[in-house]
Structure 1
Amino acid sequence: MNELPLIGISTYRDEASWGLWHQVADIQFAQYADAVVECTAVPVLLTPAPAHGDDLAAAATAVVARLDGLIIAGGADIDPERYGATPHPTTGGIRPDRDAWELALLDAADTHGLPTLGICRGMQLMAVHAGGTLQQHTPDEVGHTGHSPGGEVFGTTEVSLERTSRLAAVQGDTVQGPCHHHQSVATHPGFEVTGRAADGSIEAMERIVPESDPVPNRFCLGVQWHPEMGPDHAPIAALVHAARDAPVE
Structure 2
Amino acid sequence: MVMSRPVIGITCYVEPAKFTVWDMTTALLPYMYVEHIARAGGQPVIIPPAGVPAELAGRLDGLIIAGGGDIDPARYGSRPHEQTGYIRKFRDEAEFGLMRAALDHGLPFLGICRGLQVLNVELGGTLQQHLPDVAGHTGHSPAPGTFGRVPVRLSPSLAKIYGDDELTPAHYHHQAIDRLADGLEITARSDDGTIEAVEVTGLPFALAVQWHPEADEDGPLFDALVTAAGRVG
Q: The TM-score by the shorter chain falls in which range?
A: over 0.9
Aligned residues of 2:117 and 2:127 also touching (Cα < 8 A)? yes
Tell me if 1:123 matches 2:116.
Answer: yes
Amino acid at match of 1:10: T
Aligned match of 1:60? 54
| C-alpha displacement of 1:187 | 1.9
Aligned match of 1:241? 227
| C-alpha displacement of 1:17 | 1.3
Which residues of structure 1 form unaligned runs of 5+? 210-216
In structure 1, what is the Cα distance between the partners aligned to 2:200 and 2:218? 22
In structure 1, what is the Cα distance between the partners aligned to 2:102 and 2:199? 15
Tell me if 1:186 matches 2:186.
Answer: no
Q: How does 1:1-249 map to 2 (within 5 A)?
A: 3-49=4-50, 51=51, 56=52, 59-61=53-55, 63-163=56-156, 165=157, 167-171=158-162, 172-188=164-180, 189-209=182-202, 217-247=203-233
Which residues of structure 2 form unaligned runs of 5+? none
In structure 1, what is the Cα distance between the partners aligned to 2:232 and 2:204? 8
| C-alpha displacement of 1:133 | 0.3
In structure 1, what is the Cα distance between the partners aligned to 2:24 and 2:132? 36
In structure 2, what is the Cα distance between the partners aligned to 1:245 and 1:169? 18
In structure 2, what is the Cα distance between the partners aligned to 1:179 and 1:104? 26
Deviations 1:116-162 (A, max 9, x none): 11000110110001010000011111100000001111001211011
In structure 1, what is the Cα distance between the partners aligned to 2:4 and 2:141? 37
Identity rate, percent? 46
Give the alignment's TM-score, normalised by structure 2. Answer: 0.95
Where 2:95 maps in the other structure, the secondary structure is helix
| C-alpha displacement of 1:4 | 0.9
Aligned residues of 1:3 and 1:244 also touching (Cα < 8 A)? no
In structure 1, what is the Cα distance between the partners aligned to 2:26 and 2:187? 36
Deviations 1:97-119 (A, max 9, x none): 11110001111112211101100
Deviations 1:8-31 (A, max 9, x none): 000112221111111221101111
Aligned residues of 2:99 and 2:118 also touching (Cα < 8 A)? no
Q: How many residues align?
A: 229
In structure 2, what is the Cα distance between the partners aligned to 1:220 and 1:186? 20
Where 1:118 maps in the other structure, the secondary structure is strand
Amino acid at match of 2:69: A
| C-alpha displacement of 1:3 | 4.3
Give the alignment's TM-score, normalised by structure 1. Answer: 0.89
In structure 2, what is the Cα distance between the partners aligned to 1:106 and 1:125? 8
Aligned match of 1:214? none
Aligned residues of 1:157 and 1:225 also touching (Cα < 8 A)? no
In structure 2, what is the Cα distance between the partners aligned to 1:246 and 1:64? 13
| C-alpha displacement of 1:42 | 0.9
